[in-house]
Structure 1
């Protein structure tokens, strides 16, 4: 079994929490650190929420670092209506026992990547890309030293979920996204085109809930919250499972279909802020960006259930 070293950069967030539960349980991922950023809820809550999930998962060995409180150039955004005021749905928050890692998120990313062999550390970015952009500004060699950067963000065929053409993570800090996409690192992007194919319906939630562990029961409860929000706010029946798709791609890339492309982010227009312009007319041999166009929704949920069950 090949083990992939990984940093998760996140803004928990209900689906971020499910992604963390999956990564904490995955035997083929060496989780070096969790770095947090302001996004779905403010930064002081995202770091606390990551530590709560870490404690429930029994993985206090993994450091959690607090990161950027605001985007590079814009006021902080938020998505509490989709994640709850505290960011974890109906879960009653508490002050976790585990400590915060030394140093801010951007510094932790630089140190962990640059002190390991070139190309060996992947980064899953499942919130605004502020921390990674700050890390790239601090260490100019970072982009060429990184392994794959797997991003949950962006929209093309599906349209946006915060504006007509923009997805929240990119919209929240488009300047940071532009830094990352323009850096030359290898980026695999799982946007709404793919994640809307991975839906948490009742049967899939029940399968997670049936796993005999606190982590699985908590993940199921978080998904039921998302399902309720989907019905009350969006008018759908089964909520899309966005962020865990990045972890699923790292574990089982065969569950996704991607295409080489070039991605640019709109930063100048308020009307189309955060729009991801995805151009497929590129040379596959030199393309540094890959866009997910399809996902095996049942396969992703089967992977989550299997991984959580084996860790129980």
Structure 2
């Protein structure tokens, strides 16, 4: 992806290879063996891979005031960083975490979202110990953001090269959604988390105390105390509503390099259930 975008100057740091406690289970059934939908795009050789993601996180926290972290995978590296030096997180403004679910069903079990299910112990440690707001971009909002064949066809008009790259890396993901959820298209979870970091008006929700179940039948479930039964101080901001038209306008504008005004006029015509922002 970095090579395609011409940004091989961005360093990549390798983190934990396994969850804190449980065995690692990959998402190859969702994203393919290569993580890019069996697109078989050649691996990058032109950039150096750095070790020590945990040390990088801690160094950045110590040297960057008012930092926002966007986590789009399991929270293992953050849990290790907290164990190593919790004081470094004093500079953290907020954590935006793509993970969890409130009222929406799970995507790897009846009740759990994959990122928290993959390493529930890490997720729970971060929720209990971070000390800064965790903005949970869960399946309740990401399931409202669907990349459909209509949108992909429109992308071919906006930027054929980008559209073809996206088509290659989502083809396997499209098939998964049809077989698993009966959706024509695919939910694009991670871009919404990044967009929310840039503009928090994209999503709305409420503050609540959240815990992550670490084992058993409900492993990985994010238990949101929306009614304050436990009388605990909120440790999360749970997002439940988003504006698909506003998000997709920004998303397509950024990746296709086009003005948002043009895109915003077209999207309501091709997005099922879309509304003007």
| Band the TM-score falls in, shorter-chain normalisation | 0.7 to 0.9
Alpha-carbon distance between aligned partners in 2 of 1:62 and 1:258, rounded to the nearest angstrom: 32
Q: 5 Å matches for 1:169-208?
A: 169-183=115-129, 184-208=131-155
Q: 1:129 aligns with which of 75, 81, 90?
A: 75
What residue ranges of structure 2 are gaps of 5+ in the alignment?
260-277
Alignment-derived partner of residue 9 in structure 1? none
> How many angstroms does 1:243 deviate by?
1.2
Alignment-derived partner of residue 80 in structure 1? 28
> How many angstroms does 1:216 deviate by?
4.5
Would you say the 8 A contact 1:156–1:165 is kept in 2? Answer: no
> How many angstroms does 1:224 deviate by?
3.7
Does 2:192 align with 1:245? yes
> How many angstroms does 1:92 deviate by?
1.6
Alpha-carbon distance between aligned partners in 2 of 1:102 and 1:91, rounded to the nearest angstrom: 25
Residue-by-residue CA offset, 1:263-308 (whole Å, 9 max, x unaligned): 10111x31111111111245xxx64410011111222211111112
Q: 5 Å matches for 1:123-272?
A: 123-183=69-129, 184-212=131-159, 214-267=161-214, 269-272=215-218
Q: In terms of mean alpha carbon deviation, does 145-154 or 225-234 score higher? A: 225-234
What residue ranges of structure 1 are gaps of 5+ in the alignment?
1-52
Alpha-carbon distance between aligned partners in 2 of 1:100 and 1:175, rounded to the nearest angstrom: 31
> How many angstroms does 1:107 deviate by?
0.9
Does 2:50 align with 1:102? yes
The number of residues matched between the two structures is: 254
SS of structure 2 residue aligned to 1:232: helix
Alignment-derived partner of residue 289 in structure 1? 236
Alpha-carbon distance between aligned partners in 1 of 2:219 and 2:180, rounded to the nearest angstrom: 23
Over 3 Å counting, the alpha-carbon distance change for 1:179 and 1:213 in structure 2 is farther
Alpha-carbon distance between aligned partners in 2 of 1:305 and 1:247, rounded to the nearest angstrom: 14
Alpha-carbon distance between aligned partners in 2 of 1:272 and 1:217, rounded to the nearest angstrom: 39
Over 3 Å counting, the alpha-carbon distance change for 1:111 and 1:260 in structure 2 is same
Alpha-carbon distance between aligned partners in 2 of 1:209 and 1:265, rounded to the nearest angstrom: 41
Q: In terms of mean alpha carbon deviation, does 294-303 or 96-105 score higher? A: 96-105
> How many angstroms does 1:178 deviate by?
0.9
Alpha-carbon distance between aligned partners in 2 of 1:311 and 1:70, rounded to the nearest angstrom: 40
Would you say the 8 A contact 2:204–2:240 is kept in 1? Answer: yes
Residue-by-residue CA offset, 1:190-209 (whole Å, 9 max, x unaligned): 11111111111122222333
Alpha-carbon distance between aligned partners in 1 of 2:132 and 2:144, rounded to the nearest angstrom: 27
Would you say the 8 A contact 1:208–1:219 is kept in 2? Answer: no
Give me the TM-score of the superposition, normalised by structure 1.
0.76
> How many angstroms does 1:213 deviate by?
6.4
